[in-house]
Structure 1
């Protein structure tokens, strides 16, 4: 059931609000129409009872020979008099109209006094309309527009003669359907508009907060939220700004500590490098220098990884193909093979040095562990995808996510002569996420490991 509900809070609130309003409006219309029916029946029954009582009194005042002429003269589309009707032809009572018939009987007895006998029915049917003739007034919500309310009375006159009188009210119909429907549509449209406006105003602060949270993941130094609006919104904005400030201070403090450690470590490394130059054994000197380079590389990459999203580099549009071609040329200078396929149709707004570092790490990994790298660019309207494939053995499926962990190295399936700190993929993923994208690994069906860098294209 939940999967059929709208996903956004705005849509759900609109659905709940409109559903409740439609339900309440429908119930209100039903009660309104029932009250109108009751008032209309009361008016029509009083009118018909008066006409029938006047007719019976007039028939009582005439001789039997004159009654047929009077009946012929009074018969009309809304009144029909039948003389000499047998008791077996008296109208049949409708159980659904029992209350209405009882009310109509009381009205007649009040008007006629003690009549010999009165049998009255109230019905809605088609045949009396055709029999009586004329055009029936239409009801705004009557799905059978030709039906009429018929008040039928069978009674005995003072001399014992029988008479049946059918009366149809002359007026009191509901307004015409187009007018009522038009009014309801106008009312419903106004309710929808006001509901959408109210829900939009209520959910706007949440949208702002969600957008700020997304930006925070990409840029810890994004502008703080405006602490305005209702009390709850101001409290949420203040709490968010406080959290952002504490995170920024924490990252800055961590970066300062790491920078100091890096500086403190580079000083003895430099002294060791100078002392290594004094060694007379060239083989030992080379090994010493290699160890020092690895130490310095580890310090630098660790600092880059720990810096994470705290990158003050400005965003600017970059020609992705030119960036990849420069990395391809750098690899070719040292005899490494990098293939390039596809094309990026338009520049991509990014932090150039950071994205170059990300792509460089991925290409270096492909060359180190897979002998060569093939870069495939797929540019779409909503995202830019860059695939980096190697010709290596791949890695176990269970390790595809673990290799992003800091200092984790999968030597069981990689060359043990490549070295490295185990931070390259973690740094690459951090940079991808800093741009609102992501980095995934998979074993290619044709062999080798494939790194998929996905970057969103914003309108």
Structure 2
């Protein structure tokens, strides 16, 4: 389930808000539908109770013969009326229905007395007709039309005789009320009343209202969540850029209080890191520089030794120490930001390095050309590429430089023909003074700083140096240098 969640904080917040809003709208719609059906049932029940009370009051004022004629006329769906000598005995479940109790209370209020009555409720099946209804009723309209009109005038709450075709919708489904009321003469009158069910059609207006509300809240939530999460994205981008350029401009300390505090803390952290790196660089650079003086004195004293073999061993050790000091200084300088930035002809620079290596009988091949100058520090870039070429030749016998140029970045791939490096060692060789026992030793002249210097220079320029074992054999060092936006027009 966790894999199905959005990866970003913005996506997760939007998912939570969307799910909550949809659930709230579904519950709201359910409550509205239930309340609508309850009010409709109550309204229909009150109308039916008033109609029954009017009929009972009319029957109380008539004799037995007239009562039968009136009952015959009024027995029209959705309410069937019949006279009974004694009340029927409905089931206990039908009497205990809460709708029956509510209908009984409404009927007592409409009658205005506490005469005996019974109300039972059952669910009508689709297509069912109220009991006591007979099919041969078509002639009743003409025979009793005048009496129906008179009763309508006498009882304003009871409508005139309805048409049978018009009453069929009420017989489809709904609640069936069996109401039995005792008349003043001791007889009983029974009413089979079918209340209309709530409208089956979908309330599109209500659904449209809920949909508009949902979309409005979602749009506002989208804007609010985006506004809240944008500072986090800016902070993440700044942290990523800090790893590439420690001297990047500080974050603007604007926005809400929490955002300003986070930006302020980030800027303080960046300034602390800059001071720490600068202090460490100055200390190591000073130590390495000061070591040159005693090394020079020791070299002069070595020349005074009479034993040639001993003098040669001392001289070798001193050269190695001097080389380590020089490389350490270069390594420290690689941590500093570039001082000079100007357009560099990459093709000319590579050809110059190729010529220098050919003078030392080293094989350097160049494939491809740079299509536009690269803006950077020429001395530092030359040192970076030179270290990568030296590493390829010392441990791979040959350096092949493949130039890949594009509008966004310049990429140089330096391949050798050596045995490669174990995968778990590819990242360790950039550490200062780290050597691979199988392929690197002081006999080859390596100090373990060349690759670290190259990567420091590349990262100071906003790029990077990576290593991989090429599928065709050998080690491949990739120098990736992003281009300045101003030089995109060359393409």
Taking structure 1 as the reference length, the TM-score comes to: 0.76
Equivalent residue number for residue 102 of structure 1 = 101
Q: How does 1:65-214 map to 2 (within 5 A)?
A: 70=70, 79-83=78-82, 98-112=97-111, 113-121=113-121, 123=123, 126-127=126-127, 134=166, 149-155=174-180, 158=183, 160=187, 162-168=189-195, 177-214=203-240
Q: Retained in 1: the 8 A contact 2:289–2:329? A: no
* Displacement of 1:424: 1.2
* Displacement of 1:343: 7.2
Picking from 233, 247, 258, the partner of 2:273 is 247
Q: Which moved more, 1:38-47 or 1:325-334?
A: 325-334
Task: Check if 1:373 corresponds to 2:373.
Answer: no
Q: Secondary structure at the match of 2:247?
A: coil
Equivalent residue number for residue 157 of structure 2 = none
* Displacement of 1:187: 1.0
Equivalent residue number for residue 41 of structure 1 = 41
Picking from 315, 337, 347, the partner of 1:311 is 337
- In structure 2, the gaps of 5 or more residues are 134-163, 486-491
Cα deviations by residue, 1:341-391 (Å, 9 ceiling, x for unpaired): 467788877666545443332222111111112334567899876543211
Q: Retained in 2: the 8 A contact 1:154–1:165? A: yes
* Displacement of 1:406: 0.7
Q: How does 1:287-366 map to 2 (within 5 A)?
A: 294-313=320-339, 324=350, 327-328=353-354, 330-332=356-358, 334-341=360-367, 354-366=380-392
* Displacement of 1:438: 4.8
Equivalent residue number for residue 227 of structure 1 = 253
- In structure 1, the gaps of 5 or more residues are 138-144
Q: Retained in 1: the 8 A contact 2:177–2:194? A: yes
Q: How does 1:411-422 map to 2 (within 5 A)?
A: 411-414=437-440, 417-422=443-448
Q: Secondary structure at the match of 1:165?
A: strand
**Aligned equivalents of 1:47, 1:29: Cα separation in 2:** 27
**Aligned equivalents of 1:316, 1:99: Cα separation in 2:** 91
Equivalent residue number for residue 5 of structure 1 = 5
Q: Retained in 1: the 8 A contact 2:440–2:446? A: no
Q: Secondary structure at the match of 1:127?
A: coil
**Aligned equivalents of 2:229, 2:109: Cα separation in 1:** 64
Q: Which moved more, 1:271-280 or 1:60-69?
A: 271-280
Cα 1:240–1:66 shift into 2, 3 Å: same
**Aligned equivalents of 1:165, 1:415: Cα separation in 2:** 108
**Aligned equivalents of 1:124, 1:457: Cα separation in 2:** 81
* Displacement of 1:414: 3.7
- Matched positions, count: 450
Cα 1:14–1:395 shift into 2, 3 Å: same
* Displacement of 1:444: 3.6
* Displacement of 1:12: 2.1
Cα 1:395–1:168 shift into 2, 3 Å: closer
* Displacement of 1:240: 1.9
Q: Which moved more, 1:65-74 or 1:113-122?
A: 65-74
* Displacement of 1:85: 8.4
* Displacement of 1:99: 1.8
* Displacement of 1:429: 3.1
Q: Secondary structure at the match of 2:234?
A: helix
**Aligned equivalents of 1:204, 1:451: Cα separation in 2:** 37
Q: Which moved more, 1:19-28 or 1:43-52?
A: 19-28
Q: Retained in 2: the 8 A contact 1:101–1:121? A: yes
Cα deviations by residue, 1:107-148 (Å, 9 ceiling, x for unpaired): 2233334455423326465325999755999xxxxxxx9975
Taking structure 2 as the reference length, the TM-score comes to: 0.72
**Aligned equivalents of 1:178, 1:322: Cα separation in 2:** 75
Q: Which moved more, 1:172-181 or 1:377-386?
A: 377-386
Cα deviations by residue, 1:74-132 (Å, 9 ceiling, x for unpaired): 5777x332536899998878779922222122222333344554233264653259997
Q: Retained in 2: the 8 A contact 1:71–1:82? A: yes
**Aligned equivalents of 1:16, 1:296: Cα separation in 2:** 64
Q: Retained in 2: the 8 A contact 1:219–1:310? A: no
Equivalent residue number for residue 16 of structure 1 = 16
RMSD of the alignment, in Å?
4.8
Q: Which moved more, 1:297-306 or 1:159-168?
A: 159-168
**Aligned equivalents of 2:51, 2:371: Cα separation in 1:** 88
**Aligned equivalents of 2:388, 2:85: Cα separation in 1:** 106
Q: Retained in 2: the 8 A contact 1:47–1:169? A: no
Q: Which moved more, 1:120-129 or 1:193-202?
A: 120-129
Q: Which moved more, 1:345-354 or 1:23-32?
A: 345-354
